[in-house]
Structure 1
Amino acid sequence: MNHYTDVLKKYATFSGRARRQEYWMFFLFQMAVVIVLAILDAVIGAGSLIVGLYALATLVPTLALTVRRLHDLGKSGAWYFIAFVPLIGGIWLLVLTATAGQPQPNQYGPDPKALAA
C-alpha cells in the first residue's frame, strides 16, 4: 500500500526516476483494485462504469509513473509511445519496465535505489 500512496502523492510528477519495485507494486495494486471493481460492476449491473471511472481517475499517475520508470533507464518519457506500435510495442514497453535501472545518476536524477538504501 505504501508504494500506491507514494505514487498518488506524486500524482502528476513526470520528472525524476522510479524504481522497478515502485512501478510493479503499483501495477499489482491497480490490478487487484480493478478486479474488485469489475466484480462490483457485475454485481450491481453497472457494465464497466466503476472500472472506467477508476481507470480515468488513475490515468495521470499511471502515465507519470511509467515516464519516471523510463527515466530510471535513462530513456525519455517519449518512449512510452512505443506501446502504440502494433504487436511488438506493448511487449517492448513491458520489457523496458522490467529492466533494471541505471545504478549511477543520470540526466533525470540520482539512483532511487541508492536513495532508499
Structure 2
Amino acid sequence: MKEYREYWNGIFDYEGRASMSQYWMPVLFNTIIFFIYMIFGTFINTLLDNQFIQSLLSILAFAFLVFNFLAGLSVTIRRLHDSYHSGLWILILFLPIVGSIWLLILLCYPSTNNQYR
C-alpha cells in the first residue's frame, strides 16, 4: 500500500528513481481497481437505466484514467532511471508491438547503484 501512495504522490516527479516494487505494485493495484470498476459498472448499467448515473461513472472513469496516465508516465520514467536508462526510452512505445515488448524488458532490469543517465 505504501508503494501505491508514493505512486500518487509522485505524479509530477519525473526525476529520481523508482524500484521494481514501486513500479509493479501500482500496476497490480490499478489492474485490480480496473476489474472491480468493470464489474461494478456492468452491474450498475444492467440494474439501473439511469443516464445521469452512467454519465457520472463515465466522467469519474475518465478522470481516473487521465491522472493514472500522468502518474504511470512519471513512475515509468523513474523506473527507467533506476535501471540506468534514460527516461527518453519511453518513446520506444511509438514502435508498434516491438516497442512495448522492449520497454517491458527495460522495466524488468534490476536496479543499479549508478546515477541515472
TM range (shorter): 0.7 to 0.9
Change (3 A) 1:107 1:91: closer
**Letter of the structure 2 residue corresponding to residue 22 of structure 1:** Q
**Runs of 4+ residues deviating >6 angstroms:** none
1: CA distance, partners of 2:93 / 2:37: 25
Unaligned runs of 5+ in 2: 46-53
- Corresponding position of 1:3: 3
CA-based RMSD of the aligned residues comes to 1.8
Q: 2:11 touches 2:70 (CA, 8 Å); kept in 1?
A: yes
Please report the TM-score for the alignment, with normalisation by the length of structure 2: 0.82
Which of the pair is proportionally richer in helix?
A: 2
Q: Unaligned regions of 5+ residues in structure 1, if any?
A: 109-117
Moved more, 43-52 or 15-24: 43-52
Q: Name the counterpart of 1:42.
A: 42
Give yes or no for the alignment of 1:99 onto 2:109.
yes
Q: What residue in structure 2 maps to residue 67 of structure 1?
A: 77
Sequence identity, in percent? 29
For each residue in 1:55-103, what CA deviation from the matched residue of structure 2 results, as whole angstroms up to 9, or x when unmatched? 112111110000000011221111101112012111111111111121x
